[in-house]
Amino acid sequence: MGENAMLTSAQETVWEHLVDAIAKAYTGAPLTNEPGVRCIYTTVKFSGYLASLTNWHTLEPAVYSLPHNSECETLGIGVFKQILESNEDALERCRTRLSELALPRGVRCYGAFAFDFTEPSFGIWSAWPKAIWFVPKLTLRKRLDEDSLEVLYIASPGTDERDVRADVADLLDAHAAASGQASADHPLFAEAEDRATWSDKVGRALREIAAGKLRKVVLARRAFASVNRSLSEALQQLMGTYRDSHIFAMHWQDRWMLAASPEELVRVQAGTLSVDCLAGSARRGRDPEEDQNLRLQLQTSAKNRAEHEAVVHSVTNRLESVAEQLTWPQEPGIRQLTNVQHLYTKVEGRLREGCSLLDAAICLHPTPAVAGVPDAAAISFIKAHEGWPRGFYTGGFGWMDGDGNGQINVSLRSAFIHYPNACMFAGCGIVAGSDASTEWEESEWKLAPMRTALGDCREEDAT
């Protein structure tokens, strides 16, 4: 599908105001502690959603974020600084390089990383490095209930007011013509995964579990979609239906990652850390009574409790090295989402002195909510039997600032899009007693947010 790069007159006005307001705010904008770099802050009237700005999704690189615990949408466009890593120690290298960025107050870095840094083949994701972090040149923030945009533009050294005007106009225009083109050839998006393949994979996992080699392994399937919506439309659809999740999109190399993830790998705010343990799932009921029954069944199901306990046990143990004063409820609660409900435990604590958000992410990733137990055996089972590289699915995405605050979600309920095609992902924890057909159904509920957002009109890949 080709995306419309034409601006409507209302949107044209917003962009024009934006260029104007940034140029005007140049004089008097504070210099940062980096020589010659200025952070230009201003505001612009705008009453719609940021996600509805019709041509922003043709710009790249770009990032969109609406966390479920926030009323504030953020849109980042262009690159002031970037960190790209693909080696086996990509996350460790990102940690070092991110700590050296010395971000000015209020400036955030956004990014995402893959599930597995040792995987030599990256499949449909091969145009991307394995970890991408960038500080946008232009960041727009908007509270959903307000009608003005907070604007931050980072001007490079040596720019004057005239350059800034030209630079911003260029940033908002340069890539519009090149992107959003329907790419004709997508052979990598052609292989379907059917129920028989899934059952075979689950069967192999159950045999390893019976042989005592694994206790839990999270197996995923992928489904392909023909995308019938622009990214703007997809995001607005998710905003309407899945505000219980962190809605996130990143545009890189003409490809998109889109996610509506309910699970926070780690969040840090003023030294307080929290981690979501989500594992064990049931569908939502068709009426309140059925919903309540399914919820009770989930809470009392030994299989789901074992699946969940594996995550809580591993997360609390691993966190010891980076956090203290850890607390969590002894009984799991329930996290109800639009499409599915999960057993849920929130673990909270304080980051240890000298430890960072990324230290916590490194020690937690991948949790048994996306890999399994024992860790190493589960990861090698996934690599040997899942059948395709996960790429950024079950990796992480999020943001961080210069004060050490930030939030990284697990890339669940996500899709990789190369217009007009997309690949959507969903996985299920397999433990003793799991049934392939029930797990397939579960994966279908988990695919629902992306299927609906993308307006997928293909039949289910099942045959």
Q: List residues bridging with 74 in a β-sheet.
A: 65, 141
CB of 146 to ligand ISC, least distance (A): 33
Closest CA to 442 of 346, 305, 304: 304
Angle of helix 231-241 relative to helix 436-454, nearest 10 degrees, comes to 120
**Biggest alpha carbon distance in the chain?**
70
CB 262 within 8 A of CB 237: no
Phi-psi region of 400 (alpha: psi -120 to 50; beta: other; left: phi over 0): beta
The one among 57, 222, 342, 365 contacting ligand ISC by CB under 6 A: 342
- Say if residues 117 and 89 touch (Cβ distance below 8 Å): yes
Torsion angle of C-alpha atoms 398, 403, 404, 407, degrees rounded to 10: -30
Catalytic residue chosen out of the listed positions 85, 263, 264, 386:
263
413 binds ligand ISC (CB under 6 A): yes
Q: Which residue has the tokens 């996985």?
A: 427
Q: In the bound complex, what is the minimum distance in angstroms from residue 348's beta carbon to ligand ISC? A: 19
Measured from the CB atom, the residue of 83 and 424 that comes closer to ligand ISC is: 424
* Residue number, 129 or 427, with CB nearest to ligand ISC: 427
Nearer to ligand ISC, 225 or 278 (CB): 278
E strand map for 102-245: 108-113, 131-135, 138-143, 148-155, 216-226
State phi, psi for 183 to the nearest 5 degrees: -90, 130
Secondary structure (3-state) at 234: helix
User: Is position 412 an interface residue for ligand ISC (rule: CB under 6 A)?
Assistant: yes
Query: Least distance to ligand ISC from the beta carbon of 302, Å?
Result: 14
Stretch that binds ligand ISC, among 75-83, 142-150, 294-302, 420-428 (CB under 6 A): 420-428
Sheet holding 255-261, edge to edge: 38-45, 148-155, 138-143, 72-77, 62-66, 246-252, 255-261, 414-418, 421-430, 216-226, 372-373
Binding residue count for ligand ISC, defined by CB under 6 A:
17
DSSP-derived 3-state class of residue 341: strand
Query: Which residue, 61 or 398, is less far from ligand ISC as judged by CB?
Result: 398
Rule CB under 6 A: say whether 218 interacts with ligand ISC: yes
Is residue 1 classed as helix, strand or coil in its secondary structure?
coil
User: CB under 6 A: which stretch of 20-28, 68-76, 331-339, 422-430 binds ligand ISC?
Assistant: 422-430
Q: Token digits for 45?
A: 């009237």
Q: Is 216 a catalytic residue?
A: yes
- Pick one of 130, 427, 431, 445: the residue that binds ligand ISC (CB under 6 A): 427
Rounded to whole angstroms, the Cα distance separating 365 from 398 reads: 14
Q: Which of 137, 142, 201, 216 is catalytic?
A: 216
Name the minimum Å distance from CB 230 to ligand ISC.
25
Please say which residue, 237 or 281, places its beta carbon nearer to ligand ISC. 281
Min separation Cβ 341 and ligand ISC, Å: 10
Chain positions 351 to 370 lying near ligand ISC, rule: CB under 6 A, are 369-370
Beta bridge partners of 397: 112, 409
Q: How far is the CB of 442 from ligand ISC (least distance, A)?
A: 7
What is the C-alpha to C-alpha distance for residues 279 and 368, in angstroms, rounded to an integer? 9
In the bound state, the residue with its beta carbon closest to ligand ISC is: 427
Which residues does 126 contact at the CB level (< 8 Å), separation at least 6?
none
Q: Which is nearer to ligand ISC, 114 or 218 (CB)?
A: 218
Q: Which of 77, 234, 260, 426 binds ligand ISC (CB under 6 A)?
A: 426
Please tell me whether residue 219 binds ligand ISC under the rule CB under 6 A: no
Letters for 251-290 (x = contact with ligand ISC by CB under 6 A, - = none) are ------------x--------------xxxx---------
Told to check if 152 binds ligand ISC by CB under 6 A, we report no
Is 150 assigned a catalytic role? no
Helix H or strand E encompassing 436: helix 436-454
CB of 416 closer than 8 Å to CB of 448: no
Please report how close the Cβ of residue 426 comes to ligand ISC at its closest, in angstroms. Answer: 4
Q: Which stretch binds ligand ISC (CB under 6 A): 8-16, 241-249, 295-303, 424-432?
A: 424-432
Q: Residue 64 half-sphere exposure, CB side, CA atoms within 13 Å?
A: 27
Would you count residue 225 as binding ligand ISC (CB under 6 A)? no
**Site membership for ligand ISC, residue 151 (CB under 6 A):** no
Question: Residue 171 phi/psi, 5° resolution?
Answer: -60, -40
Instruction: Compare residues 168 and 260 and give the one whose CB is closer to ligand ISC.
Output: 260
Which residue, 14 or 424, is less far from ligand ISC as judged by CB? 424
The C-alpha atoms of residue 108 and residue 19 are separated, in whole angstroms, by 21
Q: Return the number of the residue (104 or 372) whose C-beta is nearest ligand ISC.
A: 372
Which residues are at the interface with ligand ISC (CB under 6 A)? Answer: 218, 220, 263, 278-281, 342, 369-370, 412-413, 426-429, 446
Active site residues: 216, 263
